[in-house]
């Protein structure tokens, strides 16, 4: 994504059997923002982008050991976030930290989701 060079970071870094995935946001494959004003669409698109990073490293959702979720207006969006996070994880239960924040990097961004993944965990 174009902002990797601008900000100086990577979408993910593998250290041994651990994959650290940067906070994913709601964008399409060209980097165009998706879901202005639509919290649910942003969460769904953000999880799709997390899946793309996992796939690039040959990993699956079942290897996620931790998620970190940053959300604007957490109180009003928590039920939606919880429902979508539970659906994304299925029967797999990673640890998770959810934080309400006052602002995120992009002007229309409502959510950001990062993850820690163990590549040595069987699918």
Rounded to whole angstroms, the Cα distance separating 90 from 97 reads: 17
Rounded to whole angstroms, the Cα distance separating 49 from 94 reads: 18
Name the pTM for this structure: 0.94
Any idea where the domains of the chain sit in the sequence? 2-118
Q: Residue 3 has what pLDDT?
A: 65
pLDDT per residue as tens digits for the range 35-91: 999 999 999 999 999 999 999 999 999 999 999 999 999 999 999 999 999 999 999
Q: Could you write out the three-class secondary structure of the chain?
A: CHHHHHHCCCCEEEECCEEEEEEECCECCCCCECCCCCHHHHHHHHHHHHHHHHHHCCCCHHHEEEEEEEECCHHHHHHHHHHHHHHHHCCCCCEEEEEECCCCCCCCCCEEEEEEEECCCCC
Rounded to whole angstroms, the Cα distance separating 74 from 93 reads: 21
The dihedral of CA 24, 30, 36, 39: what is its sign? negative
pLDDT per residue as tens digits for the range 28-51: 988 899 999 999 999 999 999 999
Q: Tell me which architecture the domain covering 2-118 has in CATH.
A: 2-Layer Sandwich (3.30)
Q: Residue 1 has what pLDDT?
A: 59
């Amino acid at each position: 994504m174009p902002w990797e060079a601008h900000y100086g970071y990577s979408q993910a870094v593998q250290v041994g059997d651990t994959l650290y995935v940067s906070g994913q946001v709601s964008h399409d494959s060209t980097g165009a923002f998706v879901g202005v004003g639509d919290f649910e669409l942003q969460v769904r698109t953000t999880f799709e982008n997390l899946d793309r990073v996992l796939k690039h490293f040959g990993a699956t959702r079942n290897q996620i050991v931790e998620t970190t979720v940053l959300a604007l207006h957490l109180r009003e969006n928590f039920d939606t976030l919880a429902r979508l996070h539970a659906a994304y994880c299925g029967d797999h239960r990673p640890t998770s930290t959810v934080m309400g924040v006052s602002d995120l990097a992009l002007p229309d961004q409502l959510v950001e989701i990062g993850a820690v993944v163990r590549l040595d965990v069987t699918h």
